[in-house]
Amino acid sequence: MIQLLIIAVLFTGALFYIGRMIYKSLTAKKGCGTDCKCGVDFSNAGPQKAGK
């Protein structure tokens, strides 16, 4: 009987862990991460000449 209780507790913990991972992956991110460079303006970027 005690073995069944241990298995039930472990199974419930695993379900909670998987559910939390799925929930976190599906929720929208609130902003940029560190060093994502999403606000950098690359409009003036272009190929550079080899001599410069």
The CB-side HSE value for 29 (13 A sphere, CA atoms) comes to: 5
The CB-side HSE value for 3 (13 A sphere, CA atoms) comes to: 0
> What pLDDT, on a 0 to 100 scale, did the predictor assign at position 3?
97
> Is residue 51 pLDDT above 70, yes or no?
no
State if pTM tops 0.85.
no
| pLDDT digits 0-9 by tens, 5-32 | 999 999 999 999 999 999 988 886 666 6
